[in-house]
Amino acid sequence: MIIRNIRKKLQQLGSEEKAKVLKKFFKTGPGEYGEGDVFIGVGVPELRKMVKEYPDITIEESVQLLRSRIHEERMLALLILVGKYSKGNEDVKKRIYELYLQHTKFINSWDLVDGSAHHIVGDFLMDKSKEPIYRLAKSNNLWERRIAILSTFRFIKYDNYLETLKISRILLTDEQDLIHKAVGWMLREIGKRHISTEEIFLKKYYKRMPRTMFRYAIEKFPESKRQKYLKGDF
């Protein structure tokens, strides 16, 4: 019943005009990374409000939503799971973490990954073996590789940069632009906290880095230093 009510509410909130914009923004056309994804035109602020409207939804019901073909239903499911994870005990956290990794084929867009990976995977692995994210980093699945690097955002927030740098090294020659942007972003986050650590990595690998990754990584550098990096004058 709760799933039916949620889906009905989402359809009521949906907008055909907004759905068209989202389909274009998330590149759902033939051959694009979001090919075939279905949007009904509900924004994230509206989805966040809905999370509060359904506090009694279970983890299992949330996962049922996550399996949907509709993008907004998957996003809502992830927002709910992130909330339940943050408030849960260790058993709940473990259950959500395991379900998350079992359903990565449904976490198949950059917004879905970016809003959930570090909150669930990164947080759960804070005091545990990081081997799962290394497996994800070597996956043939674009989104699992993005989950790997975005999960390390949680570590960065606690000034642990080692895993980010190791995963960045694995993804250095990745062919996907969405991975280039994600790696560059995480390197930039390191630099915001400890610029010398980022620069050691850049000076060692900049010649092998895709240009997009490099530009993202140095985006917040002082302009004079950024120009030197772009010219290779360092």
Of residues 225 and 158, more confidently modeled: 158
Residues 99 and 131 in one domain: no
Domain boundary among 60, 79, 108: 108
* pLDDT value, residue 229: 85
Mean predicted lDDT score pLDDT of the chain: 96
- Which structural domain, as residue segments, surrounds residue 44? 1-108
Number of structural domains (the chain) is: 2
Domain boundary among 76, 108, 140: 108
Is position 115 within any domain? no
Structure token pair of residue 179: 């991975």
Mean pLDDT, rounded, for 31-44: 95
What ranges in the chain are assigned the alpha helix state H? 2-13, 16-25, 44-53, 59-66, 71-87, 90-102, 110-114, 117, 123-124, 131-137, 142-151, 153-156, 162-170, 177-193, 195-205, 211-217, 223-231
φ and ψ at residue 38, rounded to 5 degrees: -110, 125
Q: Does 107 have pLDDT greater than 80?
A: yes
* pLDDT value, residue 145: 98
CA-nearest of 152, 222, 211 to 187 is 152
Residues 78 and 134 in one domain: no
Mean pLDDT, rounded, for 111-135: 98
* pLDDT value, residue 193: 95
Is position 116 within any domain? no
Residues 149 and 92 in one domain: no
Of residues 161 and 229, more confidently modeled: 161
> Is the full-model pTM beyond 0.85?
yes
Q: Does 234 have pLDDT greater than 80?
A: no
Q: Does 61 have pLDDT greater than 90?
A: yes
pLDDT band at 116 (very low <50, low <70, confident <90, very high): very high
Is position 117 within any domain? no
Residues 103 and 130 in one domain: no
Residues 134 and 226 in one domain: yes
3-state secondary structure 194-232: CHHHHHHHHHHHHHHCCHHHHHHHCCCCCHHHHHHHHHC
Residues 138 and 97 in one domain: no
Is position 195 within any domain? yes
Is position 120 within any domain? no
